Amino acid sequence: IGGLLYRETGSLIRSEAARWDALFSLAPNGIVVVDTDGNIVMVNDRFVEMFGLESRSDVLGGTLDRFIPERFRHKHPKLVRDFAVSEEHQRRMEKRPLLHGVRANGEEFRIEISIANVSFDGQQALMAIVRDVTERLENLRRLEEMAESRLQLLASVSHEVRTPLTAILGFAELLKEDTGLSSEERDAMMKDIASEASDMANLVEDLLVGAQAELGELEVIQVPVNLEDQVRHVLESLRVTAPVEVKGNVVGNTDPGRVRQILRNLVTNAQRYGGADLRIEIGRHDETITIAVSDNGPPLPEDDQERIFERFHVAQPQQGKPGPIGIGLPLSRDLARRMGGDLTYRHAGGRTIFELTVPAYG
């Protein structure tokens, strides 16, 4: 009889363990069971994978200490004991703060844990369900950044649009009233209206292209482009007169539309925020074409020299002039890099220099 009971009991235990194992294997989260001594008696493959181990045998028989950052390990035994003797049968994830786990390679990550008192092989045990929330936290961080970006965008756009819109409305009112304006004055106002409207159209284009880039829908092309022609096209469209120095063959393998967009931003910024002496130099250096847009304005503060390429960063005012508001330059650098080049800033020889590089053709 004793032998029969032993065999039946062993069979029941094996059957129970098999049921646990079958349930654990279906779970999307990591599951681990520890006995009252803190030893791991059951674990599923998801837990093994989550913590960067090879197999269950790497876990069974050990303790949970190895999965807890060292600075928290001293708290763990007491927490387990307190729960084991408490009247709670389970504690759900949403009732617990996020915790820290540590993978086999030493990398820390954030986890949620639900715990419950269970019976395992006829003995009291503690079961923990572990969820890796790294991806969820990253998605939350990105959503918060996007929300902040939207607020910054609204502030930046309203600031950037206000000036040309005010000028357009002012000139339009004067023209409507027609209070003895000469034909020359009327022509000048019409040109100013066209110029301010062009600035607004360019801002809208930057915003649309920036949105395409953020959504991953922006495409650039690479075709042979005479970059001197692109520079002169931009200067003419902006009604800007500036010397253009060309050295060598300056045909690039790039996107002409995006090059003009970048140059328009650089020339416009130089006019608004830089010195009066605007110059443009184009030259070939090995497999790269360089376009340097420079002016005799003061250098940017050191803290701004790289941050001006961050979205929505407002540079410090220079000599009473407001700084760029962080739309055109960040977009221009992004476009340059998408075309296989770059956009950089430096101050040398008393000049502020923005240097655009693109791949050369041939």
One-letter identity of residue 19:
R
* b (16+ CB within 10 A) / e for 219-250: ebeeeebebbebbeebbeebeeebeeeeeeeb
pLDDT of residue 9: 39
CATH code of 278's domain:
3.30.565.10
Q: Where are the alpha helices (DSSP H) in 215-273?
A: 227-237, 256-273
Residue 92, SS3 per DSSP: coil
**Which of 218, 239, 271 marks a domain boundary?**
218
Which H or E element spans position 89?
none
| 207 conformational bin, left if phi > 0, alpha if psi -120 to 50, beta if neither | alpha
Taking a C-beta distance cutoff of 8 angstroms, is the pair 62, 39 a contact? yes
Please indicate, yes or no, whether residues 19 and 36 belong to a single structural domain of this protein. Answer: yes
Which domain covers residue 227, as residue numbers?
A: 220-362
Quick one: DSSP state of residue 322?
Answer: P
pLDDT of residue 153: 66
CATH code of 22's domain:
3.30.450.20
**Which of 101, 132, 163 marks a domain boundary?**
132
Please indicate, yes or no, whether residues 323 and 244 belong to a single structural domain of this protein. Answer: yes
CA distance 238 to 317: 24
**174 token code pair:** 């004067």
CA distance 271 to 168: 19
**329 token code pair:** 């330059």
The phi, psi pair for 224, rounded to 5°, reads: -65, 130
Which H or E element spans position 50?
helix 45-50
Domain count for the chain, please give it: 3
Please indicate, yes or no, whether residues 118 and 14 belong to a single structural domain of this protein. Answer: yes
Please indicate, yes or no, whether residues 123 and 144 belong to a single structural domain of this protein. Answer: no
Please indicate, yes or no, whether residues 313 and 231 belong to a single structural domain of this protein. Answer: yes
Give the list of residues 6+ apart from residue 197 with CB closer than 8 angstroms, or none: 164, 168
How far is residue 216 CA from its own chain's centroid? 12
- Please indicate, yes or no, whether the overall pTM of this predicted structure exceeds 0.75: no
CA distance 108 to 52: 11
* b (16+ CB within 10 A) / e for 20-58: beeebeeeebbbbbbeeeeebbbbbebbbebbebeeeee
**Which of 73, 106, 132 marks a domain boundary?**
132
Tens of pLDDT along the chain (362 residues) come to: 444 444 443 444 455 666 666 777 778 899 999 887 888 988 899 999 999 998 988 889 888 888 888 888 777 666 666 666 666 655 554 556 688 899 999 999 999 888 888 877 777 888 888 999 989 888 888 888 777 767 766 766 676 677 778 888 888 888 887 767 888 888 888 888 887 787 778 777 877 888 787 778 888 899 999 999 999 999 998 889 999 999 999 999 999 999 999 999 999 889 888 889 999 999 999 899 999 999 998 888 888 888 888 876 665 555 555 555 567 888 899 999 999 999 999 999 999 999 999 999 97
Give the list of residues 6+ apart from residue 308 with CB closer than 8 angstroms, or none: 300, 315, 323, 324, 326, 329, 345
Residue 191, SS3 per DSSP: helix
Please indicate, yes or no, whether residues 173 and 111 belong to a single structural domain of this protein. Answer: no
pLDDT of residue 177: 79
pLDDT of residue 16: 60
Quick one: DSSP state of residue 288?
Answer: E
Give the list of residues 6+ apart from residue 344 with CB closer than 8 angstroms, or none: 354, 355, 357
Please indicate, yes or no, whether residues 84 and 209 belong to a single structural domain of this protein. Answer: no
Please indicate, yes or no, whether residues 226 and 351 belong to a single structural domain of this protein. Answer: yes
Residue 238, SS3 per DSSP: coil
Please indicate, yes or no, whether residues 243 and 190 belong to a single structural domain of this protein. Answer: no
Q: In the predicted model, what is the mean pLDDT of the chain? A: 82
